[in-house]
Each structure stands twice: as structure tokens, then as C-alpha cells.
């Protein structure tokens, strides 16, 4: 996520690159887990002003933040300087907010941490469609072979039953 937000890619990077600032989301189960996991990883310890910018996003590239209402020390948005001179915008979202908060805007990068409901994943696909964006999911399939996991592992998809050829 940091590379896409800043445009600073390592020499060995062979994946997708963005030459212009991106609109991005990172999301998880709840706003609290997003703050305690994703925000911590990207920004540094929540609520410790001197340590903002000690995460994966370099402090000197953080242009500003917007606080999240209703959860202390959480951010709604982070504004990150892109190498092109523009500003990338990262928004923190959570699945417990429902599919509706994932509607409306195009996103170049979406990171879904842990398994989300299929309707949220589908909504995120729509948000990346018009801008040829990317989605990455980091999850342990603790819930088993759900529809989302099967979308990534079609070889485990059960064979459809052929009710027309069954003899009762």
C-alpha cells in the first residue's frame, strides 16, 4: 500500500505501479481493529503524536490526516505525498459499517484485511472497475470455503448437482 500511495517502488518491484496519486482504501472487520492493526502498521502507534509517521508510510510524506468520529485516535483519511508531486488519499473503512460506505467513488487500490462479506468484495470490485484498479485480500480462511474464498480457489468449488438425471 505504501508504494502505491507514494509512487516509490523498490527496484525489484515487478507488480502494478501508479505514476499518479491514488485513491485507496484499507478495510477490516471493525473500526477498532482497523485502527489497532492497519493504522498502526501504516502510521505508527495510535494516539502517540510523536510516533505518527513511524509506520510504513514515512512521516515526511504524510501531509495530513482527518480524525474518525466516534473512535479515539483513529483516522478517517490520510493524505500522502506522491512522487509525482500530487497527493494520494487513503481512507480507513470497516466491514461493520456495511456495504453502503463502500459505494460511490472509484479507487485505484483497495486492501481488504481479513475476509469480508461477499457483497462488500463485490462493491469493491465495482469501485476499481472504471480505473483499472487493484484489490488485494489478506486473510486466513477461518470460516472455511465461503463464497469469497471459493472465488479465489475455484478448484474447491463443489460440482453442481444434476437434478434432471436423478432417479428417485
> Mind listing the pLDDT tens digit of every residue in the chain (168 residues)?
999 999 999 999 999 999 999 999 999 999 999 999 999 999 999 878 788 889 999 999 999 999 999 999 999 999 999 999 999 999 999 999 999 999 989 999 999 998 888 899 999 999 999 999 999 988 777 776 677 776 766 676 677 765 555 555
- What's the structural domain count of the chain? 1
Q: Report the catalytic residues.
A: 114
CATH code (residue 141): 3.40.50
Cβ atoms of 83 and 6 within 8 Å: the answer is: yes
Rounded distance, CA 97 to CA 46, Å? Answer: 21
For 39, the domain range is 2-165
Gyration radius of the chain's alpha carbons: 18
Sheet holding 23-28, edge to edge: 62-67, 75-81, 87-94, 23-28, 109-113, 134-138
Amino acid at each position: 500500500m505504501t508504494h502505491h500511495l507514494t509512487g516509490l517502488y523498490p527496484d525489484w518491484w515487478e507488480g502494478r505501479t501508479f505514476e499518479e496519486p491514488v485513491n485507496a482504501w484499507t478495510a477490516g472487520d471493525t473500526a477498532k481493529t482497523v485502527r489497532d492493526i492497519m493504522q498502526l502498521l501504516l502510521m505508527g502507534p495510535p494516539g502517540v503524536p510523536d510516533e505518527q509517521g513511524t509506520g510504513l508510510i514515512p512521516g515526511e510524506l504524510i501531509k495530513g490526516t482527518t480524525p474518525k468520529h466516534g473512535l479515539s485516535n483513529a483516522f478517517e483519511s490520510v493524505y500522502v505525498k506522491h512522487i509525482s508531486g500530487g497527493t494520494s488519499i487513503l481512507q480507513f473503512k470497516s466491514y461493520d459499517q456495511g456495504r453502503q460506505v463502500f459505494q460511490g467513488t472509484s479507487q485505484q487500490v483497495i486492501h481488504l484485511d481479513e475476509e469480508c462479506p461477499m457483497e462488500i468484495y463485490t462493491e469493491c470490485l465495482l469501485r476499481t472497475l472504471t480505473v483499472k484498479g487493484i484489490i488485494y485480500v489478506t486473510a486466513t480462511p477461518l470460516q472455511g470455503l465461503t463464497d469469497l474464498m471459493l472465488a479465489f480457489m475455484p478448484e474447491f468449488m463443489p460440482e453442481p448437482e444434476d437434478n434432471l438425471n436423478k432417479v428417485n
